[in-house]
């Protein structure tokens, strides 16, 4: 009898254990492995010679997985409140990741008051936006999501959408080793992708940096001589491979600037009317021009610098000499200068499939 009871008891325990195992099975092994592939951005040796290596935050080094995630997020419309626009909506590859519209339209139908800036070689910069209010690419990627006249969203909502999507948790795990998404990781990934957007393969590079003087037409050569000579364009658009000195300057657009520019960030009256000097790379593709998009064409820009600079503009930059009646560029000189500016176009950059919207 006792033996029977013992056997029955053991059987009961066995059944209970077996049932428990069925109810709480061991989790399957994770099919994904966090093993990031670290990469570096490729750019010509002369870039390093002029401005040094591209710097990366120690906590956001480039990886194949991080760049791939950032590329997907750059084109992701879930970042906006209405899920209708993405970063790429206002930074179009064919326009040097700039916006061909004078001002970008937000999700609520309102427009900003500054021209979107081109995303070109930003990995070498340390001040961002026209007024320099951010000093990292990560910070630059953060602001449009919550800007009420851009994506008009909240970071908790963005994170919730991404967290509940079927694909993103695994992509964040591959890039950062965690499936728990937060805003910090989102902007890190976008910044990684943006650091890969380098452009150094123009006709100008072949002529000036690689020494092949046969690629320029005579008109383009004439325009280059004006650029570094009579036009004094290189005073601000330095020949340092970036075609910008990365500074903030008042170039004499207005007597009484409607936009305070850098002063909005610093609070210093001496910064009124100063704006970031943009790169001239791919300038042919990134119209309209100036922070307020007042010039639609390169012809209008050249005409302004030839005869339209306002000497009474507050804090006029020292690199803007007293033109008196102007540079007095002839029509031929203007045409030559514009021909040179068009040699700064990098068609490979504008069409590179690695920078376009991913297929999935």
Residues sharing a CB contact under 8 Å with residue 96, sequence separation 6 or more, in sequence order: 118, 119, 120, 199, 281, 282, 283, 285, 286, 349, 350
When pLDDT is averaged across residues 134-145 and rounded to a whole number, the result is 95
pLDDT of residue 321: 61
Residue 30 — pLDDT band, cuts 50, 70, 90? confident
User: What are 294-336's pLDDT values in tens digits?
Assistant: 999 999 999 999 989 998 998 999 878 665 566 889 999 999 9
pLDDT of residue 272: 96
User: What are 343-355's pLDDT values in tens digits?
Assistant: 999 999 999 999 9
When pLDDT is averaged across residues 151-173 and rounded to a whole number, the result is 98
Per-position DSSP letters for 226-295, written without gaps between them: HHHTTT-GGGTS-TTTTSS---EEB-S--SS-SS-BTHHHH--GGGTTBEE----TTGGGS-SBSTT--B
When pLDDT is averaged across residues 185-209 and rounded to a whole number, the result is 98
Reference 282, options 208, 205, 224; nearest CA is 205
Cα 30 to chain center, whole Å?
Answer: 35
pLDDT of residue 319: 79
pLDDT at 245 over 50: yes
Phi, psi of 224 (to 5 degrees): -65, -40
Count other C-beta atoms under 10 Å from residue 347's C-beta: 12
pLDDT of residue 31: 83
Cα 134 to chain center, whole Å?
Answer: 12
Per-position DSSP letters for 21-40, written without gaps between them: HHHSPPPPPPS------B--
pTM above 0.85, yes or no: yes
* Lowest mean pLDDT, pick from 2-11, 105-114, 166-175: 2-11
User: What are 117-128's pLDDT values in tens digits?
Assistant: 999 999 999 999
CA distances from 160 to 88, 102, 108, 189 (A): 21, 33, 21, 17
When pLDDT is averaged across residues 283-287 and rounded to a whole number, the result is 98
What does the mean pLDDT of the chain come to? Answer: 92
When pLDDT is averaged across residues 59-77 and rounded to a whole number, the result is 98
Domains of the chain: 45-198 (1.10.760.10), 203-344 (1.10.760.10)
Residues sharing a CB contact under 8 Å with residue 309, sequence separation 6 or more, in sequence order: 251, 252, 320, 323, 326
- Percent share of the chain, pLDDT over 90: 86
pLDDT of residue 327: 84
Q: Which residue has the tokens 């009579």?
A: 230
Q: Which residue has the tokens 């910044």?
A: 191
When pLDDT is averaged across residues 45-59 and rounded to a whole number, the result is 95
User: What are 202-213's pLDDT values in tens digits?
Assistant: 999 999 999 999
User: What radius of gyration, in Å, describes the C-alpha atoms of the chain?
Assistant: 27
In the chain, which ranges are E strands? 248-249, 275-276
Pull the structure tokens for residue 298. Answer: 């390169």
Q: Are the C-beta atoms of 56 and 62 separated by less than 8 Å? A: yes
CA distances from 181 to 259, 286, 294 (A): 37, 34, 41
63: DSSP letter: B
Peptide bond into 243 cis (omega under 30): no
Of 38 and 6, the structure prediction assigns the larger pLDDT to: 38
pLDDT of residue 13: 44
When pLDDT is averaged across residues 239-244 and rounded to a whole number, the result is 94
115: DSSP letter: P
Q: Are the C-beta atoms of 203 and 345 separated by less than 8 Å? A: yes
Residue 14 — pLDDT band, cuts 50, 70, 90? very low
Residue 21 — pLDDT band, cuts 50, 70, 90? low
């Amino acid at each position: 009898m006792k033996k029977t009871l013992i056997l029955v008891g053991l059987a009961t325990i066995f059944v209970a254990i077996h049932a428990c195992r069925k109810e709480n099975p061991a989790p399957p092994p994770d099919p994904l492995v966090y093993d990031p592939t670290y990469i570096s951005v490729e750019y010509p040796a002369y870039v390093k010679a002029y401005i040094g290596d591209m710097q990366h935050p120690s906590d956001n080094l480039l990886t194949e997985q991080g760049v791939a995630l950032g590329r997907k997020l750059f084109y992701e419309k879930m970042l906006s409140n209405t899920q209708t626009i993405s970063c790429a909506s206002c930074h179009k590859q064919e326009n040097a990741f700039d916006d061909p519209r004078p001002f970008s339209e937000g999700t609520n139908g309102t427009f900003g008051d500054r021209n979107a800036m081109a995303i070109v070689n930003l990995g070498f910069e340390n001040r961002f936006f026209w007024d320099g209010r951010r000093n990292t690419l990560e910070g630059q990627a953060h602001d449009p999501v919550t800007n009420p006249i851009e994506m008009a969203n909240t970071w908790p909502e963005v994170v919730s959408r991404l967290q509940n999507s079927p694909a993103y948790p695994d992509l964040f795990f591959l890039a950062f080793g965690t499936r728990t998404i937060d805003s910090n990781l989102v902007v890190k990934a976008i910044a990684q992708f943006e650091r890969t957007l380098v452009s150094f393969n123009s006709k100008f590079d072949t002529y000036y940096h690689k020494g092949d003087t046969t690629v320029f037409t005579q008109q383009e050569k004439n325009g280059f001589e004006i650029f570094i000579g009579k036009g004094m364009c290189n005073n601000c658009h330095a020949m340092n491979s970036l075609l910008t000195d990365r500074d903030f300057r008042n170039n004499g657009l207005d007597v009484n600037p409607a936009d305070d520019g850098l002063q909005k960030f610093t609070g210093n009256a001496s910064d009124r009317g100063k704006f970031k000097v943009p790169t001239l790379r791919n300038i042919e593709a990134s119209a309209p021009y100036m922070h307020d998009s007042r010039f639609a064409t390169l012809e209008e820009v050249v005409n302004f610098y030839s005869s339209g600079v306002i000497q009474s503009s507050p804090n006029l930059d020292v690199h803007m000499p007293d033109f008196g009646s102007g540079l007095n560029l002839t029509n031929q000189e203007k045409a030559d200068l514009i021909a040179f500016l068009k040699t700064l176009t990098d068609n490979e950059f504008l069409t590179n499939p690695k920078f376009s919207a991913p297929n999935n």
